[in-house]
Each structure stands twice: as C-alpha cells, then as structure tokens.
Chain A
C-alpha cells in the first residue's frame, strides 16, 4: 500500500508543496520520515490539529492501532432501536402532557411527516421514580428502568431529517445521504481489532428482519471494504462460512492446501508484492474464522441461569427468545475482543408491526416490542457489569429520532419528531445517573443543551480515545469525518 502524499490532508500536501518535496524527490522519503516531518509542523501527533489517518498495513489490516489519546473504552456495544422509539413512552417524563391530554398543541404544526396532526396524547404508560436518582422512567420497560442509576441520558438530541432511512444513515454514518462509512467501520479503521480470529465489527440483526437503512448501518462507505461490518446473529450464520454441502471434508482440505501452494508459488514468481502476501493471509484468517465463529455462536455452553436471565428460554415468545440469544451472542463477541458490536432491536417499516414506528396503534404495538426488548437488554447490561466488562466497554442505546407529543389525526399513535429525542450511554468512561438536556414541557422540541446527533457520535469517539475532528479519510478531495464539519463532545456525560 502506498505511503505517499495522498495520505495527507490538503494542508499537509500544501506544506509539502511549499517545500518542493513532490517536485524534487518524488516519494523518496518513506512514510516514517514524512510523518516526522509533519509532526514537526504540528500536523500530526497528539499536539497538532491536523487530520489523523491511520496507516493500514495491507497484509494485516486488522492489526490493533493506538487511539489518539488514552481511551476510557476499548469496545462498543450499540443497541440500535430501529423505527424511532418514542421518548415520551420511555425516558422523557412529561407530567404536563398528562394534564393536556386531548387538547390541541397551541402553535404546533398542522401537518407532520405522515399528515394532519391530532391532539396531544398523554404518555401511554405510567411512570415511576427509580433508584437513587429518583428519575422518572416508564413502566413499559421495567427491567431497563431498574438500571436507571447507571445510565447517562441525553434528552435533547436532534436529527437532520424526519425520514427513517436518511435518519438511520445520519445516526450511523453522520450523513443523511447513502454511501458514507458507518461508525463501526470508522472504529475498525481507526483501532483495528484485538482478536485475530474474528471480524472487528459485527452487526447482529433483529430476528424480525433488517433495519430500514439496512446495510448503510454497517457499510464501509468509501473506506476500504476490510472495515465493513460482518452480519450474523444467533439464528443466521455468516454467509459462505461453511464449505458447500456437495464438497467433502477431504476435498475441501485438498483444494485449500493446493490453493495455498499455488498462491505461494505465484508470490515467489512475483516477489515483494505485498498484496499477494495479503491474499494468502486472508485465506488463513478465513480458515480461522471457520473455526472461531461457530464456536462463538454456540450458546450451549451458557449456564442455565444465564439463559434464564436473558429470557432466551422463553418458549411462548419465539422472537423474544431469539433476540435474547442475540444479546448473549453480543456479550460473547465483546468478551472475545470484537471492537464494535451493533445489536439491532426492530426491523423495517411495517406499520409499526416489526419495529418502533408506532404511527397508528402505539400502545398495542409497544406492548409487544417492549416485551422483546426489555428483559434481554437489561440482562445483557447486568451481565456485562457483573463480569466487570463495563470497565472497558461502552454501551450505547440509540434510535434515529423521537415521536410527537400529539397523536396523528384519527390514529392512536405518534408521528416522527426529529426535534428532541433521547438516547443514553453507560459503561466505560460514562458518568452514571446523569440526565442532560431538556425538551419543552410537552416533549415537542429540545430547548436546553440542544445536541445534534453529531455531538452524540463525537462523544462516542471521544470515549474510545479518538478525536472526532481529526480521525479522517481522504476521499474525493475532502477530509471526511464521521461528524462531517460539526460535533462537540458532550462533556456532561463523562466521568
């Protein structure tokens, strides 16, 4: 792989130009000399401000790489609630909304995303004060509510769009458009992997199906394909992991060893070609994955009390049991050092049947969804905690936007609301029991400490020891970042 000037920022390149570097000596200087040169000018390294682009060794793209500064978190678990969970039925308690139930919202929008707005509607679940903090949390999620003291909430997030697909893009990639790298891809690119037998980035899909922005949530965008998420779940193995049925074990081994000999001979004929060596290494890693992935996906070694705690033994609710197994799988992956695990709860648009998009019959549908989400997710966080894994694992609970305090006209559900919604963090480096940011008394809009999702993502990168303004990739003439040209770390959430 090249170590030339294309790895530099525009600024860095202009500097080089001034020095006549390109015209005088081509690329005679190696990357190390170049890095030194730039560090001297403060364009690289901890003291500078310039972009930082990790140097990827093509024969080992997943090698662990150091963060920009000491990190609080080594791994991330993202619990991604697709379809937009209502903040008003969960974490953002609005007593005033109970009082104004059935009244029109004065000065509110006549038309929202799906059409005409109806009247204000009270939260559909009762709220109770929880734990030491006494924070009001909904009865919809009794197990998660018990964890309230450990969580750091942001109630004042905003999105740039009120359409699910672009909004999931925005949450996962920092851009509403298709085609930008997902957060997990950025982290694999920045930090590599701690485990040489497993992918650095795994996306576990909901048993009900794919989320709305689908592959965009785990895609590499314009980053090299190495850094894309690998999708599998407790019920869906990695595609092409196993040899085809028509091929026997001995045939498979014979083909593999012959292939490696052919490739080794080809490398001998073309010596010093790093890409050819990388191909040989990639087949070796694939072979290791063929052993390690089934092992990690085999939950039979989990003790009964764990299976019970997650609800993976639920015989009446198959979806819940499957989601619970995904939760166990998530823990096992993080235990093995998988850098970024994205756990989906909720699938695609379905009139709210398969995800949190409660437009028409919110209460009825949320009863079903909460049953699937609550116990297993809470068990996962407890399990991580009791194993001491929250010391270096950051847990993110997120959704693409919130919902309106009004019901839609003629319906029993809420429309899309990108103007003020709630996500939370817990685990490594996160201050427990914080509630930051405020929506107005009816929960329509964020009014205090307003944070576009850029800020939330900047905070996640920060906890991983990465400066969101410097982690970059040069693409089509631009230093691209997860946070575009925006983002401020939300310090109030940090220890």
Chain B
C-alpha cells in the first residue's frame, strides 16, 4: 500500500511536471519525490553515505565529503548530483544498485538546479542542529556570582556559585573538614606528599587568621609543587621516555621537556606563555618546551617498511599524533575524528583537519642539538670533575711489574699501567682475538698529569695496520675521538691481528694506556686477548711496556664495565675513596651523555621547510586530494590567523600559538580551568576534559566555569592564582563524609555538597612511602632513574626490585617506559602514555593489594620506616606506635589501635606493623 502511494505520488509529480510547461519546477512537488524514491535509502535520515544527506536543505546544499558541492545552484552540468545520476563518472553511477533515474526525472532535477535549486525554508521534516551553535564555541561571559542567603559560608566567588546550586537542589553544604583533614588534603593535592608531624603541629598551633593561606603559600613555593602538578600535564600529553611500539627503545633526551613542565608550574609561567613555548619555544630560547610536539609514540626508521607507501603512512601517523595533542590538550576537541571523514558531531571537516595538520608540516620526530651556553658550561664543569676521578681510579689498578696478578682482559675496558716514561708515540699491537677482526672503541693514553694525550683534539695522529670501515660505526677516526661504544669504534681488516700507532706532537711522560672493545658493554666479540703495548724511544726503537702475560685468565662471561675491578680487595685505607670515586664517576658519565659537543640533545622535534599538505580522502595517504594551507578550524574565529601554503615552519607554529593563546579564545581558558578544577576535585565541571565539543558532557556549573575562565585570563593566566582561590574556598574546605540524604540526590558529588575524597595516585603513593620511611631522595631534574633492569629492547622489562639512592627519587623522575607499567605502582591506574589521560581512573584491584602487600619495595620501606622510628624514639614500643601514626596518618593512635599495634610490634616486630600501615586506606586516601 505504502509503495503504491509512493508510486502514485511520484507519478503525479511527473504528470504535473509534464503538464506544467513553462511553470517553475517546485521542490516539494517535483524534486523531493525523486530524491525520496531513489536517494533517501542511502542519503536520508538513517544513513548518510559519504556524508551526503538529501532530506535537509542545509546538508544537501553543503554536499558530501568528497564531491561537494553536489548541487551547484544554476549549474546543473557542473553539479555532481546530475553527473552521477547520468552515469557520467566512472564507478559513480547513482543510485549504484537498482533502477536508474528516468530521463524525465533527470531533466526535472537539471532544470531545478539550473533555475537556482530553490529549496524553500520550512519544508523539511527535520531541522538539523547547527553544530556551531554550541556553548563552548561561544564567547565566555563573566556572570556575577549569585547572591546566596547563607552569609558566612561563602569565602569567595566559587563558594557562591557552588552554594547556589547545592541549595537549588534542596541540599546543604557539608560542615568544615577538621584542620588535619584539610592539611593532609591540601598537601597531597598540591605537592603529592603528606605533611610531616612538625608541620602538622605548626599548623594546629597557628592561631592566626592566615594559617590556611600561609600553608598554601608555603606549598606553592615549594619545588615539590611543580613535581606534583607537572605529572597532571604529562598525563594529558602522554609523556614517556621511550618511543613506543614493539621496540620501545629509550628516548634518552626526552626528559628536558619533563623538566621544562615542572619548572613552568613552579614558576607559575602564565598559561598563554606555556602554550606558546610548547608550540614555538625554539623561537624564544625555550627549546625543551617543544617536546610537546613529539610526546607520542613513533615508529623508528627500522620499524617502517622500506616501501614508499609505508613511509607515507608512518609520516601521517606521526603528524596525526601531534594534531591530536594540540586538539585534546589545548582545544579540548577530539579533532582526530576528522582525519578520515568530516567530524560526526563537531563542525570540523576533513579539510579543516588537514589545514590544522599543515601547521606541523615542518616538524619531524627526533632530537635536535640545542646549543646554549648553559649546556656548554654545565658539560665543561662535569668533564673537569670527571678527569681527576678517572685518573684516581686508573691509579688504583695494579700496574705492570708490581708483582700482583693483573685483572683479566675484558671486553669493556682495560688499564695497562706502567712506570712513567717519556715518549712521542705508542703502538698497540693485537696478536689474537676471541673472534674475528679486532675492534677497539677508544684508545686512551694518560700522562702523569692525567691528561689523555691520545685524543685527536690534543693533536695526536694515528696510523693503522689496515682498517675495515663502515659509515657511522667503524672508522679510524673513532679510535681517538673521545667517544665510546661499538658505533664509535675502529676495526682492523685482519682476523685476529692488527695494530694502531698513536704519535704525539711532542714528547710526553705517560704512565697508562686504557682501551676496550665496547665500553658500553654490549659487544664482547672481536676482543684482543693477546696484545703488546710499546713506546718509541729516542732512537726510534719500540720498547715494550705492557702485554697480557701477567693478567689473569680471560673469562668470556665477564660483563663488568668498571675501570676498577678490585675495589673491594683494595687496602682498607683507600677502599672508601675508591668506592666514592667510582660512584661519583658513574654519576658524571651518566650526566655527560646528554651533552654532545657544544650543547645538549633534546627530543623536542626537528624543524625544517614544511612539506606541502594535501587533504587525504578517508585519511589514506595514497588518496591525496587538493593542497590545503595552514589554517585554524573555520568554525572558530579565524580573522588575522591565515597563512598561505608557502609560510615557513616557524611562522606556522607561531601563528597557531598566537591564535590559541588569545584571551578571548572561547576554548583555551575554559579547557584549562576545567583541568585545574578536575585535578583538585577529581572531576571537572565539564566531565569530558578532552572534549568540549558536541559529544562532550555539558558543564554542571556553566556560569562558574566561565567565571573561572575569565578570572584565569584576568589574573594573567596564573595557575597558582586559581589554586589559591580553590583550596582556600569553603567548597574545598568541606568535610568529605558521605551524607545519606545528599548521597541519594547526587551520588557523584557533581554539586560538591562535600569534598570528594579519593585514593592518591601511583606516584603519590610511592613518593609518600619513601617520604615517611625517610628515604625519599629530593634530587630534582635530569635523566630519569630506571624502574627496570633493562632500558628497552624486545625481551621484556624485568623490574628492579631493590633501588639504590637514585631510584628513591620522586617517581616523576623515573625513566618512563611507554605502555609498560611500573611493577608495583603501575597497577594503581598509572597512565601508560599511549593515549591522553586527562583524568585518571581509580580502580581497586586484587593486583594492587598483592603488589602493595608483597613487593620487595614495600618490605624495604617497611624496614626503613621501622629503622627510622627506632632511631627517633628508641625501644619504647608505645612511642614507636605513636610516631608511626603521626608519620603516616598525621594523628595519634586511638587507644584500641594502640593496644593492638603494640601487641603486633611485641610479637611480630615493628616491620610487620609498618608493612600493614602502608596498606591502610587511611594512608592512601586524600581525606
């Protein structure tokens, strides 16, 4: 019946059309029935293939994703709709299946378009919401905070907005939290650590009206603050110290960006500046900041296919991650969706997406040498400290002819020390190897003053028996370039033999030769097992000074890499010095790795002339379409922010940064104040912090959000100003106790009728355990400490069980392995740096319980805590229990607790108690 009606209508339409010669084609009467008959199955309300919708005027006239405009008013012949129904374009016959349009139908459509495609308003069955008509795309408005009738409760504007909504729902706010609860809350919140018993005491006895503000000031000026708050930002941008994907090898110089973020928070760097520097910091001498552009995982060259299509895909993937970072972090928009098709919810077309991508067309993933005087000075200081330490250590190695057996030849490093002798040349001859042609990564010759005169930079010249060279790995020049490792080594061209001669510009008094196959400890083949070292005397004769004959037998499994192998066997008098020197030397060597000649390497992107950017059909690099210029999304205001396709890389990034950091930008300030709110309260006013678009959740308190955003801009984009407003508000100072009446109305505490208590994060747990055990190492900045035995490669990441001092730093200073969660604390919802984590989930799992109860880390810190307590209060068990409670919970034990705890300590020891206390909810929750 329905079908019959359809046909009837259609027939009528044709009859009318046929009859009405000279009469205008009418959309409703003549055109729409044709669309309905042939097109709406795929291009109507249900489905919109290729993004084309023909039942709504605005959508139809805009056209589909790939062929817009499908309807070009006045030009039927140029309209894709006509060309497709006529079958003029190969593979694009419309409709693709079923009966084609009749000649009459086509002529009606053509005439309608030629006459201007008049489509009257108000005739469509539905009207589409305009996705541009969305709250977050409109200007911010500063509303006055509502008047509230509970005077005295509100301390600032925030409270008036919050109280107004609480009362609107018929609720009341909660009573004020105890002083201790607020103090613990604000400590965990601002610095991620609990207050010391002394600080608790100070605060409780501070009667001044300013006591709360004084605490906040102290915390905000503490360097611990940046270490806590930078983590939030690093979660958003998914910072990690490895490249990700299967190889997941280290990005050893990513950390300057992490340190930059910490410093930015500590300095209260204005947020507009923070944005600018992360996009274009290289233009204002803040190079590390641009690490932001390249925080995501990226394939290394070896992981990308050798075919061109694979290379294009990898490049697109990299750029995609950069655009995602900008979209999510600053704009709070899921722009990535528009990579393959027009955004389903937001007014962002695929072309808009690629225009945004074009801002980064000159950015490559990689590290660049940042030459700054600071780096040079720092490196020089380190090198100057290193030289005498090495000399000291070399001086402790047994020398030739001293009677003692010398250590065996090792692949890593060997010292041949002999009586000082004057000479102008040294020859090192290899007589046998364990395998293949010998290889030496560096030959060092030290004078009695501890100067390495073999260095090319000292004027030394080298000659060789013969060499097997390969670019960037084995070259003659590498034997005395001051750099270690297989990739900076010399290789002989003869199996089991070869020699190198080093001559000095003039005569020097030398006393040791230091050499190795691979000081980085990765390679142990090609090692000279039998060798001789000779020096040239005044007559030109070669005089032997050392060989392997007085060394211990070679052990092929010896993996040691220290210069000094016998530190523990040295006479007691110098043993301590040896240990100290070793440790200090190793620290310096580690630090120096980041300072290549003249500066430091920073993984902060490499910049070059931009590629041209074309928009890609379906996001497929093999289907490039027209070129697009760098441009900000058209639906947000674009005046003065357009560039042409020839714009330089720097200009592109600068312009984007300037556009994002405009005070009146509708998204920038709102997105950031929402993050700040979220990081304080555990949820944002907008519950989708990375999506302020049409598919995000609208704000619970729109007026408050705008007030905060405008206040943020007004304060000069000061994050610390926002902290003060929030943590000193009555809203924040409420008790966290659950009240049944309010819980029934608002279980999620969206209205903030109480403070939403929550478990502290992985980093805060680890740091806090170390703080109370007295072992937290506050050393700030620099390369990360290892959480795993190995720094990468494919064979998995065996975790370190026992940490040395370096490993007891705050967890933000760990070398963060992408995707691989830390073995104990990772289970506490630590983000994996794969996708952006604007808000941490807070799960409760049996693995967390097992980790925190049974790990070596917990045991070690329990032992340390027990030791600390014993050393502070002695053997008095009640006193021990009291101190434990004050350290962990900022309070004294209740009598019942004390009795039980004392029993445990007496029967099972203080360590047993400490282990249990570390696992308590009270220790792990922000009250």
Contacts and interface: CB of A to CB of B under 8 A. Distances in A.
A6 B748 CA distance: 10
A454 B247 CA distance: 25
A169 B690 CA distance: 23
Nearest to B689: A476
Contacts of A165: 245-247, 299, 303
A171 B89 CA distance: 37
A368 interface: no
Nearest to A11: B695
A282 B748 contact: no
B855 A240 contact: yes
Interface stretch (B183-191, B223-231, B661-669, B824-832): B824-832
B795 A209 contact: yes
B747 A2 contact: yes
Given A178-B245, A214-B246, A266-B922, A273 B690 contact: no
Contacts of B759: 275
Given A22-B698, A214-B820, A259-B916, A225 B850 contact: no
A107 interface: no
Nearest to B688: A477
Contacts of B843: 61, 224-226
A410 interface: no
Interface in A139-162: 161-162
Interface in B804-829: 818-821, 823-824, 827-829
Contact of A178 (B345, B691, B818): B818
Nearest to B847: A230
Q: Tell which of A4, A214, A476 has the most Cβ of chain B within 10 Å.
A: A476
Interface in B883-922: 896-897, 900-901, 904, 907-909, 912-913, 915-917, 919-922
Contacts of B837: 222
Contacts of A290: 850
Interface stretch (A130-138, A245-253, A333-341, A455-463): A245-253
A213 B245 CA distance: 6
Interface in B675-700: 687-688, 690-691, 693-698, 700
Interface string A208-224: 01101111100101111
B783 interface: no
A25 B751 CA distance: 11
A225 B829 contact: yes
Nearest to A176: B317
Given A219-B819, A271-B738, A286-B849, A166 B299 contact: yes
B307 interface: yes
A32 to B, nearest CB: 12
B740 interface: yes
Nearest to B129: A14
A279 B844 contact: yes
Nearest to B824: A240
B266 interface: no
Given A165-B246, A215-B820, A273-B738, A225 B841 contact: yes
Contacts of A115: 306
A282 B819 contact: no
B304 interface: yes
Nearest to A168: B246
A272 B743 contact: yes
Given A178-B244, A178-B832, A283-B853, A28 B169 contact: yes
B829 A258 contact: no
B477 interface: no
Interface string A263-289: 101110011110110110111011001
A343 to B, nearest CB: 17
Nearest to A241: B850
Interface string B849-868: 11101111001000000000
A177 B832 CA distance: 12
Given A114-B306, A180-B834, A348-B794, A478 B246 contact: no
Contacts of B838: 476
A242 B853 CA distance: 9
A177 B834 contact: yes
A478 B835 contact: no
A61 B169 CA distance: 31
A350 B36 CA distance: 60
Q: How many residues of B sit at the interface, in one of the four size bands?
A: 35 or more
A294 to B, nearest CB: 13
B850 A240 contact: yes
B459 interface: no
Contacts of A26: 165, 169, 700, 745-746, 750-751
Nearest to A283: B849
A254 interface: yes
B922 A262 contact: yes
A28 B691 contact: no
B841 A224 contact: yes
Contacts of A242: 854
A285 B843 CA distance: 14
A350 B759 CA distance: 42
Interface in B741-770: 743, 745-748, 750-751, 757-759
Q: Tell which of A58, A178, A247, A282 has the most Cβ of chain B within 10 Å.
A: A178
A279 B306 CA distance: 51
Contacts of B592: none
B745 A241 contact: no
Contact of A243 (B307, B821, B854, B920): B854
B305 A215 contact: no
Given A17-B698, A243-B854, A255 B750 contact: no
B246 A213 contact: yes
A229 B379 CA distance: 45
Interface string B70-109: 0000000000000000000000000000000000000000
A455 B913 CA distance: 54
A317 B85 CA distance: 67
A273 B747 CA distance: 10
B737 interface: yes
A113 B309 CA distance: 10
Contacts of A222: 835, 837, 841
A10 interface: yes
A112 B305 contact: yes
A463 B693 CA distance: 35
Contacts of A265: 896-897
Interface in A270-325: 270-273, 275-276, 278-279, 281-283, 285-286, 289-290
A221 B688 contact: no
Contacts of A262: 897, 916-917, 920-922
A476 B819 contact: no
A3 B794 contact: no
Contacts of A256: 853, 916
A92 B693 CA distance: 48
B835 A177 contact: yes
B238 interface: yes
A20 B565 CA distance: 76
27 contacts: A10-B345, A13-B698, A26-B700, A26-B750, A27-B745, A61-B845, A109-B307, A177-B321, A178-B245, A180-B834, A209-B795, A212-B794, A221-B835, A225-B828, A225-B847, A240-B824, A240-B847, A240-B850, A240-B853, A244-B856, A251-B909, A255-B904, A282-B844, A289-B850, A350-B794, A476-B690, A477-B693
Interface of A: 2-6, 10, 13, 17, 22, 25-28, 58, 61, 109, 111-115, 161-166, 168-169, 176-180, 199, 209-210, 212-216, 219, 221-226, 230, 238-244, 246-247, 250-251, 254-256, 258-259, 261-263, 265-267, 270-273, 275-276, 278-279, 281-283, 285-286, 289-290, 347-350, 416, 474-478
- Shortest 10 CB-CB contacts between residues of A and residues of B: A179-B834, A477-B691, A165-B246, A10-B695, A348-B794, A179-B835, A165-B245, A178-B834, A2-B748, A286-B849
Given A246-B859, A259-B853, A259-B920, 11 more contacts: A5-B687, A26-B751, A165-B245, A215-B820, A225-B848, A238-B850, A258-B900, A265-B896, A266-B922, A273-B738, A348-B246
